Chain A
């Protein structure tokens, strides 16, 4: 079941660093641009690069959903809202976020955690458990479906439905709050 056996990956490190660098640059641009539309475009770039990373992890279904939902759906609505507010004022206005100190501490803590995990893993203990199930690229969608809907193996059906119910409640709530008279 080793996905790499059927079709050896090409230039994996190159693409990983390319996508990772795109994501990081995109992420930095999101928080540094003053123009909200530019931020949104940078966020879209980062999300697309992330879907590329999912593809590299042999999870094409997740990558496709990432493109459709985040890059295609949510970001369009983001842009929609951003375009309706007055950009000119926000560009000239002074930035007034005062959490930068807390932000730096949190980021440093997370970075330290990553480094700690990585160094302990390379010091002998494996980072990921051996023998985890990896499906080939050609079966990813089917595997996700089986986890959701299969009679014997399916275990996430209930959680999935609950999540969709939550989204429905959110939609109805948004409509109720936005419309004065229904």
Chain B
């Protein structure tokens, strides 16, 4: 027992991810935390999407189940679980049964390498970004098989559209990602990078998700601003491709409800349908976290290079970690997570006071007040120094991903759907050439000193 406790504690002192430290207990805890957090995020996203879309269209959205429809996703989940699970008579049973699991597995497995913080990832792989792209590309298999196994016209058309679309946009996406990977080693530091180690004499970049963020930290710039405007263009390509990759509006042709009923998951119902739903939203979160990690500095707070003058408040600041910066601005940003949660709690209490006074709404009002109090308590807990130092990076990462999730909803509320030939044109004739040019330009700008030396006859 004593050994076990020591085993658990040994990880807390290290500055590694659970996978990097080889600690099975904490790896399991992190996997459960990520899985649980992801499920909660999907539920919240479901509610938010319906509410925000409704407000964009000057409607109220769900209002009945719980205050402001807060419990609507839970009611929906219950409904889906209790619904009859129908398999069409002529369907290929095994493939029909497996397809939703492939999609879900692919969507959830990528979170193994998503870096919520320098130590807050399940593990850090040397091939991090390659792994994420590879495993998320497996979800197309699930979609194709789902459409085919349904043995019906609309799903098959949806599946064919989806796979053509995903395969096409993966190319542009990959080119944008490669230009960022080149940026990890280009144009700044001359020698060994970020604990990756050197093979041979030259500086080498990294594919590891944590390494990419550390590269941005070391170079003092988010990659969206590096080699301006090259980083920005790469980000724009990725931002377009990732919407197409997740089959969301305006690229939601695979499930275009006005043309194909529901596309590849027309024949699915109940639990299996909810698996597709879960996979779609967690895939959206996954690609958003790729974008955040690669271009927006991952877990780094805004303006990571600006610290302000040092201050010291006994027992509160500076943080326990001696290597952490101690500036005034650092302190203000460290308080942000707590303040954000307190604001959310305050919003709940504002709405408690606006709830109808009718006795039928008594329980709802109390529930909302309880929810607000919980949020407030979480906010207060985030002011405790030990908690504050551990969750700040997770907060910034989640906040950036949340901004992307809002963008997804915004797109859906704003843009009309593309026609299929327009979609292919954008993918192959616009994004791909720009991506190729970008790749070459990034290499040229990054190696400008060496190229110049070649012309002037210097350098070796």
Contact = CB atoms under 8 A, between A and B. Distances in A.
A2 interface: no
B28 interface: no
B399 to A, nearest CB: 29
Interface stretch (A12-20, A123-131, A143-151, A161-169): A143-151
A37 B202 CA distance: 47
Given A68-B133, A76-B167, A153-B200, A61 B144 contact: no
B148 A83 contact: yes
Interface stretch (A98-106, A112-120, A134-142, A174-182): A134-142
A7 interface: yes
B438 interface: no
B127 A61 contact: yes
A41 interface: yes
A64 B130 contact: yes
B267 to A, nearest CB: 16
B46 interface: no
B126 A141 contact: yes
Contact of A79 (B92, B131, B141, B202): B141
Given A68-B133, A137-B126, 14 more contacts: A37-B148, A41-B145, A64-B127, A73-B167, A76-B167, A83-B144, A83-B148, A138-B197, A140-B127, A142-B206, A146-B199, A146-B200, A150-B202, A152-B200
Interface of A: 7-8, 10, 35, 37-38, 41, 44, 60-61, 63-65, 67-68, 71-73, 75-76, 79-80, 83, 135-143, 145-146, 150-153
Contacts of A64: 127, 130-131, 134
Interface of B: 20, 22, 24, 92, 94-95, 98, 125-127, 130-131, 133-135, 137-138, 140-141, 144-145, 148, 156, 160, 163, 167, 196-202, 204, 206-207
Nearest to B164: A80
B145 A143 contact: no
Given A67-B138, A71-B138, A139-B197, A41 B95 contact: yes
Chain B interface SS verdict (over half): helix
| Chain A, interface SS category | helix
A73 to B, nearest CB: 7
Contacts of A143: 199
A67 B145 contact: no
B319 to A, nearest CB: 28
A142 B22 contact: no
Contact of B22 (A7, A68, A139): A7
B196 A38 contact: no
Nearest to B208: A138
B144 A76 contact: yes
Given A38-B94, A142-B196, A142-B204, A72 B144 contact: no
A8 B167 CA distance: 38
Given A143-B199, A150-B200, A152-B200, A68 B137 contact: yes
A7 B19 CA distance: 10
A143 to B, nearest CB: 5
B148 A65 contact: no
A71 B163 CA distance: 14
A80 B163 CA distance: 9
Given A135-B199, A139-B199, A141-B126, A76 B141 contact: yes
Nearest to B193: A142
A74 to B, nearest CB: 11
A72 B22 contact: no
A72 B138 contact: yes
B207 A67 contact: no
B164 to A, nearest CB: 9
B197 A142 contact: yes
A8 B23 CA distance: 11
11 contacts: A60-B126, A60-B131, A67-B138, A72-B134, A76-B140, A80-B144, A80-B163, A83-B156, A138-B196, A139-B126, A146-B199
